[in-house]
Amino acid sequence: ASSLPSWVGLSGPAVSSVTCWAHVSSPSHTVVKFMDVYQRSFCRPIETLVDIFQEYPDEIEFIFKPSCVPLMRCGGCCNDESLECVPTEEFNITMQIMRIKPHQSQHIGEMSFLQHNKCECRKSVRGKGKGQKRKRKKSRYKSWSAPCGPCSERRKHLFVQDPQTCKCSCKNTDSRCKARQLELNERTCRLVPRGRLSVLLSLVHTGGQGSVRR
């Protein structure tokens, strides 16, 4: 059997992957033995085709050739449903990819991707957010954290949100409000006439006694 390219990142011999392909093309009456099935399905680094846009979501102005790359990523089953297959050793690999800017230019450049070298079945950490994926190291180019909840259900357009910390802040700035003779309600991010904000805040502290002139 021929060896796989060294950049694929297989730490062991390439025979297992070649054998796996051979099974796919073997006659339909062939029965794969239990131990073969078990060993191939257990948690380990497996060559996986990963979409480049999944790894570089901000580079939407380019078309990549190829559009996906073969990377070693943890996959497979664990004996206990409370465990999940996670990487315990990672490394970066550099590949040459063609970047195409439609109607402008195209060139072959180097891009870095994360590969998994070792995997283990460990206790799942999905308690707080179902389906959350493990957060990568902060030095990585993207975060795998779960999506943040909305800042406001009814007034989403008034807020901006940091995807890393999920912290909400107002789109309008205080200086912009003052230029328009308005004040910024930092709790709701709405603009209110000057003087009315202090009245609203005093009502909150006094339990809503009194009235507000509209």
Q: The pTM is what?
A: 0.46
Residue 106 banded pLDDT, cuts 50, 70, 90: very high
CA torsion sign for 42, 44, 48, 53 is positive
pLDDT of residue 141 exceeding 50: no
Average pLDDT over residues 118-126: 87
Query: How do residues 10-44 score in pLDDT, each as one tens digit?
Result: 433 433 444 444 445 556 788 999 999 988 899 99
Fold (topology level) of 148-214: 2.10.160
- What is the mean pLDDT of the segment spanning 103-122? 94
pLDDT-derived band at 205 (thresholds 50, 70, 90) equals low
- Tens-digit pLDDT profile for residues 46-84: 999 999 999 998 888 899 999 999 999 999 999 888 999
Q: What percent of the chain has pLDDT over 70?
A: 60
Cβ-contact 150, 87 below 8 angstroms: no
Residue 23, both tokens: 């099974």
C-alpha–C-alpha distance, residues 76 and 44, integer Å? 6
CB 46 within 8 A of CB 16: no
- pLDDT, tens digit, 9 for 90 and up, residues 163-178: 777 888 887 776 666 6
Q: Which residues contact 141 (CB under 8 A, 6 or more apart)?
A: 55, 56, 112
Torsion of CA 156, 159, 165, 166, to 10 degrees: -20
Cα separation, 172 vs 189, whole angstroms: 7
Place of tokens 């380990």: 44
Q: Domain ranges for the chain, please list them.
A: 1-146, 148-214
What CATH fold (topology level) applies to the domain 1-146? Cystine Knot Cytokines, subunit B (2.10.90)
Q: Which pLDDT does position 33 carry in this prediction?
A: 93
